[in-house]
Amino acid sequence: MGAWVARWRAALRIARRDAWRNKGRTVLVVLLMMLPVAAGTFAIGALKSSRPTAETQITAAMGTQAQAQLEVACRGARAPTEQQINGGGVCFPDGPDLGELTEAELVAALPDGDGVVVGFLAATGLRTDEVLVDSVGTVEVDAAQVPGLVGDVDGDAMPGRAEILLGPGVAERLSASLGDAIELVTYEGSVVDVEVVGIGDRGPRVVVGPGTLPDGYGSRTWFVTGDAPVTWADVVALNEIGVTAISRAVLTDPPPPEDVYGGQFQPPADNAMRVGGAVLAVVALGLLEVVLLVGPAFAVGAKRSARTLALIAASGGQPRDLRRIVLAGGVVAGVLAAVVGVAVGTGCALAAYEILERSGEPVPNVVVPVLEPMVIGVIAVLLGLAAAWLPARAASRADVVTVLAGRRAFPPTRRRRGWIWLGLAAAGMGAAVIGAITSWTILLVVGVVTFEIGLIVASGTLVGVGARIAPRFGIAGRFALRDAHRNRSRTAPAVAAVLVAVAAASAGLVWTASSAEAERQMWRPVAADGTGVLGLHGDTTGGDRAEQFDQATGAVTELLPDAAVTPVRKLRRDVTQETSVRLMAIENPDVACPGGQEVWPGADDDRCRSDPSMYTGISLPDGVLVDDGSLVSLMGLEGADAAAAALAAGEVLVSSPDDIWADGQARLQLMDQAADTFGAEVAVPAHVVNWGKAEFALVIPPDVADQFVEIAVEAPGPDGEAEGPSVSVEVVGALVTGAEISQGDIDRLNRQLSEMGEGVTFAVEGNQSGPDVSSTLLLLVAAAVVVAIAATALSVGLALADSRPDLATLAAVGASPRVRRRMTAAQAGVIAGIGTVVGVVSGVALGFVFTTWQQGDVYTGTYWETVVPWEYLVLLLVALPALAIIGGWLFTRSRLPAIRRAAS
């Protein structure tokens, strides 16, 4: 054991001194090795920060001291419930009515010693003389007993009646400070004057003191106080009395998923396997990239140390001693790279968080990982040692006389082996595609890894293919291609490193573009992004509504003088009627789901599948949209021009092909919630739009609307005698186009509209949680692109450093600095060009595999397709080789020392 330690101590001492003597090479090696460490540290920090931790969820729900937050599950009659660990669950309203909940009953279900503090949750508006911030989550509670709901507070953290604590985002939008008087507005029209007594540092909501909200406004909630934690058993007991709980103890130490009501809230097994398969494939690619980024560093380092190793061998050193010295160099560089990589990755993550915060996209929970980067660093060193094994083995087998004489030994070319590996790569891609289509996780992972390994090992063959076209280039190109082919041991690892880094970046770009398109397909907007929507949601009728519309549009044009305001009209019932009547398109019975089966996204029968789209965003008041095509054309949605032409031709728009019968027409009829019909059924030519949102379930031209107004007047009521429902075409809002509208404009305009009556609102499409790609995903793709650029530069730099003796020889025979720069630039272009081209192609193939894999998702798979962002890939394809060529030109030394070269 002592001898083994002594040998390694000597090897490490030699490696340390060699690294110190060759500082430039060491820096390149360390930078190349630290890239995957920095990227991994950055990625883990971004992923962990992109979702709230348990502690963040706890403080957001119940502050810093409460044990749990409780709510009655069923709105209406209280009934038993079953919930997830985070509070959401399933209510059973058909179960026994448990009656009114009493505080004594609630306390009895809690651990001994715990009590409750009652509070109210509500959505309110907050306004000053200038702006109104709408839909603000508001909590009324005694903050002395439930502290920390808005974080650390600047000011008085315990508001009383008519006092308020603001979250940081709300305070900024209101431009409010301590002592300011603002108004709290409820959706029932009540206005409460409140004073700002504190501003917190966390959360988008506000806290008001007891008695501030009007009586009966908001939903009742309870905060559990005391020292006894609320366990999962306590949560189940609360569920039995119809109460859901968000518990500090449960979120901190959650029960196994199978214990949460038999695992009914677990994701489907195939979705779990899908996520696991994608993660395994990405991790496998990441490990390969680590090996390939480290491999060229060790290969070039071992070649640069060849003379030192040959002297050791000539002095009696054994092959295992030479291997140990090369591996020791890997240990020295690996430790340095791990430390530098963790520091760089953490610093970049913190910088990215700061940029996001300043851009108005705060990170949910800033996390600086500690343990994971340490593990990544250790793994990188271990994989680096594995990558160093082949260079170490080659160094131990080198011919001592050849090396000491300064000659180079070129290994024989094995063309057949390279083509075999290319065939293996093709087979791996085929297996990956089959695995993606069939959702076979293991086959997908094995196929992806085999594909990449095949390309990596065959990189020497790819270099050889490039050498065959050398005669078609000038002297610099011929020299670079043939030199790359002769020195495959130097060129192939560099090409492989560039290939994998570019493939990862390209696959990330394809995945990002595909994900954005899928989200766009699932999102159902009412108009194109940036379009303002004025809504008159109140029950005002007749002349009052017209006056309200004129006032609202006047406020819009005053604040946005360049904007065009287009009225939105709908066919609506008389709001004074008790019966809710609506014009509806009758579904074609030939395509209706048979037997009343449950409609869900994964149904086997296409007629029973539902649309899993997100029906969120801006909504207009109820009714059927009436338009001659002019309004629809302004909405800017896909297919709007064709839809506008159809309306102008007298056709109606429907959002489902099931609403069109065999004769190509839709059947329309007035109907109420009890399925009572009023008047005749009318057949009208129809045009299908894939807009999905409720506003577009049916759109009718004005003449069809007039026809149903007459039908409603003449139709008998449900009893067959009384008059039918009264419907009319009313203005319910407006579209605002042609102007740039900021959040400040929205808040100022809503402040003015709040004085014009209940339910007058203004919003801008695209300001909601829409289909934008998440900042986390963009950060990860950006990190992959940066790694690709850095890997290209460093790999090319190492390869060019190894070719410096050739440049010195050129200088010795009279080549000018300009000629040498051309040679160097051409060498850099060959390495970066081959690696980039193959990397982009393989990255697109991998992106296709991963998006095909996502298409098997039960809920969202139908919206996924492979979208290739050609503009970014072409930029990557052009920019990387161009940067390498420019770098090779600029960093070639004008004067090189002459190196003695023995004849081969």
Q: Which of 225, 259, 290 is the last residue before a domain boundary?
A: 225
- 37: in domain: no
C-alpha to C-alpha distance for 204 and 188, rounded to whole angstroms: 22
Q: Which two tokens stand for residue 892?
A: 């070639």
Domain containing 207: what range?
A: 119-225
* Integer angstrom CA distances of residue 341 from 29, 240, 439, 502, 537: 12, 52, 36, 20, 56
C-alpha to C-alpha distance for 267 and 254, rounded to whole angstroms: 16
Band (622; pLDDT cuts 50, 70, 90): confident
Task: Please check whether residues 633 and 744 belong to one and the same domain.
Answer: yes
Task: Please check whether residues 753 and 640 belong to one and the same domain.
Answer: yes
Judge whether residue 627 has pLDDT over 90: yes
Radius of gyration of the chain (CA): 35
The three-state secondary structure class of 444 is helix
Q: Which of 190, 225, 260 is the last residue before a domain boundary?
A: 225
* Average pLDDT across the chain, whole number: 79
Task: Please check whether residues 573 and 719 belong to one and the same domain.
Answer: yes
Task: Please check whether residues 701 and 641 belong to one and the same domain.
Answer: yes
Judge whether residue 466 has pLDDT over 80: no
- 496: in domain: yes
Judge whether residue 182 has pLDDT over 80: yes
Percent of the chain's residues with pLDDT above 70: 75
Judge whether residue 792 has pLDDT over 50: yes
C-alpha to C-alpha distance for 810 and 896, rounded to whole angstroms: 10
Which of the pair, 785 or 408, is modelled with greater confidence?
785
- Identify the weakest region by mean pLDDT among 42-46, 222-226, 292-296, 544-548: 292-296
The H or E element that residue 545 is part of is helix 542-559
The three-state secondary structure class of 264 is coil
Judge whether residue 646 has pLDDT over 80: yes
- 102: in domain: no
**Which tens digit of pLDDT belongs to each residue from 228-281?**
999 999 999 999 888 999 999 999 888 888 888 877 776 555 555 555 555 556
**What totals of helices (H) and strands (E) does the chain contain, helices first?**
26, 22
- Give the pLDDT confidence score for residue 362 in this predicted structure: 56
Dmax over CA atoms of the chain, in Å, equals 116
Task: Please check whether residues 572 and 595 belong to one and the same domain.
Answer: yes
Task: Please check whether residues 724 and 864 belong to one and the same domain.
Answer: no
- 669: in domain: yes
Task: Please check whether residues 502 and 537 belong to one and the same domain.
Answer: no
Asked if 668 contacts 682 with a C-beta cutoff of 8 angstroms, the reply is: yes
Tally of domains in the chain: 3
Judge whether residue 403 has pLDDT over 70: no
Q: Which of 163, 192, 225 is the last residue before a domain boundary?
A: 225
Asked if 33 contacts 383 with a C-beta cutoff of 8 angstroms, the reply is: no
Task: Please check whether residues 539 and 688 belong to one and the same domain.
Answer: yes
How many residues does this entry show for the chain?
904
Band (630; pLDDT cuts 50, 70, 90): very high
Band (781; pLDDT cuts 50, 70, 90): low
Task: Please check whether residues 788 and 718 belong to one and the same domain.
Answer: no
- 34: in domain: no
- 474: in domain: yes
Most confident of 395-399, 436-440, 630-634: 630-634
Band (461; pLDDT cuts 50, 70, 90): confident
Is the torsion defined by CA of 612, 616, 617, 618 positive or negative? Answer: positive
Q: Which of 197, 191, 229, 228 is nearest to 212 (CA)?
A: 191
Q: What is the arithmetic mean of pLDDT over 283-287? A: 61
- For every residue of 182-215, DSSP letters joined together read EEEE-TTS-EEEEEEEEE-SS-S-EEE-TT-SPT
C-alpha to C-alpha distance for 128 and 138, rounded to whole angstroms: 17
- 347: in domain: no
Task: Please check whether residues 796 and 888 belong to one and the same domain.
Answer: yes
Is the torsion defined by CA of 374, 380, 382, 385 positive or negative? Answer: negative
Q: What is the arithmetic mean of pLDDT over 824-851? A: 86
8: Cα within 13 Å, side-chain hemisphere: 8
Task: Please check whether residues 794 and 748 belong to one and the same domain.
Answer: no
Amino acid code (one letter) for 752: Q
Task: Please check whether residues 544 and 636 belong to one and the same domain.
Answer: yes
- 295: in domain: no
Which residues have CB under 8 Å from 420's CB, separation 6+? none
